[in-house]
Amino acid sequence: MSRPTLATGRKDPAHVRASENALEKAIGRQVRRYRRELGLTITDMCTRTGLSAGMVSKIENGNTSPSLATLRSLSTALNVPVTALFREFEEQRDATFVKAGHGLAIERHGTRAGHQYQLLGHSVHSDVSVEPYLITLKKESEVFPIFQHAGVEFIYILRGSMIYRHLNATYSLTPGDSLFFDSDAPHGPEELVDLPVRFLSVMTQSSNS
């Protein structure tokens, strides 16, 4: 399945300035956290590393960029690998921005039956896969596809109305209605009452599924 590209927004000068020392602050938070977990004081750190109290304080507050030698001293004093001090900074915090009408058109089971899918984003660097879709049903279909996949699904009706089946139950859905269900059970539209039908569908499952 194709994926939408992550849009990179224009950062204003204030945002750039705030991000300049993100690495230093992330390292500082990790040093402080590990120190406190060990029950060490600033003075203890000075003894273990040979650094001054002022330098340790600057590092923990993200006000200085420690050298590699200093990072090694800190990691030894805290009994953690050097890479552990970068762990917080390396964690990804991604965002997907999609302009109105610019979701990625993709083909899924049901496309040939008149369903139009626009992928609005996808989870990145996560143990959980989340895929939000804008789905539009524009024409009657003699055969309604049955869907069945791992995880859970949430749908929210924006326009039109339809009868939606989940396992042995049916639901009359109109604008503002929502339905949350286990998607490993058979489900899908059973009758299109008022066309076009447009709804949001958020599918979630374990990334290992």
pLDDT tens digits for 43-77? Answer: 999 999 999 999 999 999 999 888 888 998 999 99
pLDDT band for position 37 (50/70/90)?
A: very high
Three-state DSSP class for 45? helix
Q: What's the confidence (pLDDT) of residue 65?
A: 85
User: Under DSSP, is residue 91 helix (H, G, I), strand (E, B) or coil?
Assistant: coil
Mean pLDDT, rounded, for 138-144? 66
- Return the domain boundaries, the chain: 13-90, 104-206
Q: Which amino acid is at 138?
A: K
**Which of 1.10.260.40, 1.10.8.60, 3.60.15.10, 3.40.30.10 would CATH assign to domain 13-90?**
1.10.260.40
Please tell me the predicted confidence (pLDDT) of residue 16: 44
Position 158 scores a pLDDT of: 97
- Give the separation between CA 44 and CA 41, rounded to whole angstroms: 5
Total-model pTM = 0.54
Residue pLDDT, tens place only, 98-119: 788 777 776 655 555 567 888 8
Are the C-beta atoms of residues 201 and 133 closer than 8 Å to each other? yes
Single out the residue of 93, 89, 76, 92 nearest to residue 34, CA to CA: 76
Does residue 128 contact residue 209 with C-beta atoms inside 8 Å?
Answer: no
State pLDDT tens for residues 76-86. Answer: 999 988 888 88
Would you say 149 and 183 are in contact if contact means Cβ atoms under 8 Å apart?
yes
Residue 161 has pLDDT above 70, yes or no: yes
Instruction: Tell me the sheet residues that pair with 194.
Output: 161
What's the pLDDT score for residue 207?
64
Closest to 195 in 3D by CA, of 168, 159, 170: 159
Superfamily of domain 104-206: Jelly Rolls (2.60.120.10)
The pLDDT of residue 123 is above 80: no
Tell me what the pLDDT averaged over the chain comes to.
Answer: 82
Phi, psi of 25 (to 5 degrees): -70, -40
Q: Are 112 and 148 in contact (CB under 8 A)?
A: no
- Residues of the chain with pLDDT > 90, as a percent, come to 49
DSSP for residue 61:
T
Minimum mean pLDDT range among 31-35, 76-80, 135-139, 191-195 = 135-139
